[in-house]
Chain A
């Protein structure tokens, strides 16, 4: 009941914004912080040195990690955004591994998102080089290079451009180990690509193609949410002995800023991370929507006056467990199952469209595992089953209001 009201509100809001957009045809570019005001102030970003040095699951590469307190002492952190953290990770990887090379379209000049700024100057043009505009060629070249045991860090300029390379990734990279009976593998291959919406990317610059790779066993897919996560997960991906597609939410490149340890560290692949704990509902997402979820949870607790009547007072104290999936394939099914067994409710949020999206797979598996524990159907908040539209991208992506709507509906079921 609440949901239908909120949904109506949501569509009304669409209508209003639509009109205001028409009124200001010559609008300014989106603010530097992106369209999500919460990113700049997110409590999930670690703004102090101490917080950045004590991260769950963090493993210092140069130390015995048995006593985290001891090994964190005396280490430095630096304020970085995501593209700086990604660059830092590649710099660390190349410093420690002479066979590591970085290649892709325009990476020698820093890349379109500046993720490789200065790497060519630091490591030489023979280790950081531009490729032709040839995604299938880049992926195939990377598979060949990695099958020689070299560390290949390839960049596909946008995740939207990964489709010409689909065959090489799914049929060559993912299956290499299995089809050679374990004799060969391309575990040293990592393919980086910017993903998710940017607010004005439209059809070919705002897609989230992670779902297309879900059936490619042998492959890993990692999506970080923040600078600290990006560095640790990218180093983990580069060194993981399986081919990894590392998708970087492009709107976070500049807008997410936090303290990042300067030293070499890794975060574990295949492990989800709890951002909040609770027993009433599990909210699962990855990448950019983390911050929309944060906003939604804030709105649930203290709804703005305009929507307060749609959020029952009894729900405002609900304890929602927000989980960042981080690794999309293979996904941390045990952590999600454990959480849903406690909460009995699951809402999944992702930017890709619903049909064939990752959420469907998770929903099916969790419904099978937790069927008798569920108090409500698994709810998915996703992009619409349309191409990502240029003009209405804002309404394509699942924003805080739609997430709040789904949480309220699921809690009220």
Chain B
């Protein structure tokens, strides 16, 4: 094996020589206007915030406002606190089963929500907690679901990967399975002549599933208003993108579908990319791919320490140099939108909000025994009875 390893070429260069690579710093956006007032102002993204395939890169100028940036900061901080609370609850053995946290990827979920409307639809994979809250859910609902309590968003019957709202079609546990669903959702929007988009999200690991390509083909064939979002956090479970994908430039994998690669660590770049792709699909140009280059700080799931396939130094470097929340914090302070004390107040509020939600969720009872048999078939159309957990237990509808 050792000799084989020597024979193998070194990991391929991420980009061919001469092509500029995407930069993923969280704090390179430049203020170009006075931001001391409450009116919206324009900022300019780093020139390497986007790359494009078969289309033009989005404009680097983004209009933002003070309230929006402060709101993004607080929301990102709250989402991180929520995920950290889930981490703690899991380690206390109060959450059982599977649990995938998005710490480090907050700019993607919060930035996505900033760029879309309530008419748009989102469907994602198992790293879904922030999306569920942002799309109309509650922290209590998410934590309650993780704890398997009645107050959970699926009444405690789904768990981590199974959380839905009216405009959010869930976390999905089967790798890649949500992508064709996204095509179907987008078809319904097109059929109803809605000026809205579907964001079908998957990871760099799922990008190699066959049905992802089936969905691409159908979406392009019928020009569906679907944005296929590859959230590239560089590792599919414990395998790095370079070791799993012959082409790691996920935004180029749509064949005739154009693609945008965006800095997924700078929330302003995320918002811009989302707005750009939304405009693209709602103007009848068909689907588009959108790759966010991001990073997860934790392991793939709670049972993965996340340090066997990457170095602690790598994680530490990402945390200290490219953290999306610290990046936005720097903008806010440098542009004079709020002081460090103001932001610390936000941090405290976020923690308090999450702590309160956790306590409420913990107080919620477990699902009733009869709920084991509910929601299998539509109410009133069930079989007369279903079997229970032991031979004598039968539930009659």
Contact = CB atoms under 8 A, between A and B. Distances in A.
A413 interface: no
B184 A140 contact: yes
Most A CB contacts (10 A, CB to CB) among B153, B169, B180 go to B180
B58 interface: no
B214 A134 contact: yes
Given A145-B185, A179-B157, A140 B179 contact: yes
Interface string B179-221: 1111111111101000000000000000000110011011001
A375 interface: no
Contact of B180 (A140, A179, A330): A140
Given A137-B218, A144-B180, A218 B383 contact: no
Contacts of B384: 333-334
A144 B218 contact: no
A36 interface: no
Interface string A129-140: 101101011011
A241 interface: yes
B42 interface: no
B170 interface: yes
Nearest to B164: A180
A213 interface: no
Interface string A222-250: 00000000000000000011100000000
Nearest to A185: B378
A178 B382 contact: no
B307 interface: no
B381 A144 contact: no
B184 A148 contact: yes
Interface in A202-228: 217-218, 220
A126 B174 CA distance: 30
B184 A146 contact: yes
B374 A182 contact: yes
Contacts of B382: 330
Nearest to B162: A179
B376 A140 contact: no
B383 A330 contact: yes
Most B CB contacts (10 A, CB to CB) among A129, A146, A179 go to A179
A134 B383 contact: no
Contacts of B154: 179-181, 183
A277 B252 CA distance: 65
A148 B177 contact: no
A171 interface: yes
A248 to B, nearest CB: 22
Contacts of B189: 148
B255 to A, nearest CB: 13
B184 A147 contact: yes
Interface string A87-122: 000000000000101000000000000000000000
A187 B172 CA distance: 18
Contacts of B152: 181
B221 A137 contact: no
A99 B211 contact: no
Nearest to A180: B164
B60 to A, nearest CB: 34
B390 interface: no
A143 interface: yes
Contacts of B222: 129
Interface string A46-67: 0000000000000000000000
Given A144-B169, A177-B378, A172 B177 contact: yes
Contacts of B374: 182
A101 B384 CA distance: 31
A197 B179 CA distance: 34
A270 B383 contact: yes
A147 B375 contact: no
A168 B375 contact: no
A147 B158 contact: no
A184 interface: yes
Interface in B48-94: none
Given A137-B211, A145-B184, A152-B184, A99 B191 contact: yes
A69 B229 CA distance: 58
B181 to A, nearest CB: 4
Nearest to B175: A167
Contacts of B169: 144, 147, 184
B158 A167 contact: no
A170 B122 CA distance: 22
A330 B174 CA distance: 25
Interface string B209-247: 011001101100110000000000000000000000000
Contacts of A2: none
A410 B383 CA distance: 29
A138 B312 CA distance: 43
Given A179-B158, A184-B164, A141 B215 contact: yes
A150 B375 contact: no
B283 to A, nearest CB: 19
A183 B187 CA distance: 21
Contacts of A129: 222
B162 A333 contact: no
B75 to A, nearest CB: 23
B221 A147 contact: no
A131 B218 contact: yes
Contact of B181 (A172, A180, A242, A330): A172
Given A140-B211, A141-B181, 12 more contacts: A101-B191, A132-B221, A136-B210, A140-B184, A141-B218, A143-B181, A144-B169, A148-B188, A171-B177, A178-B376, A179-B157, A330-B383
Interface of B: 121, 123, 152-158, 162, 164-166, 169-170, 172-174, 177, 179-189, 191, 210-211, 214-215, 217-218, 221-222, 374-378, 381-386
10 contacts: A134-B211, A139-B180, A140-B180, A140-B215, A143-B184, A145-B188, A177-B375, A181-B375, A183-B153, A183-B154
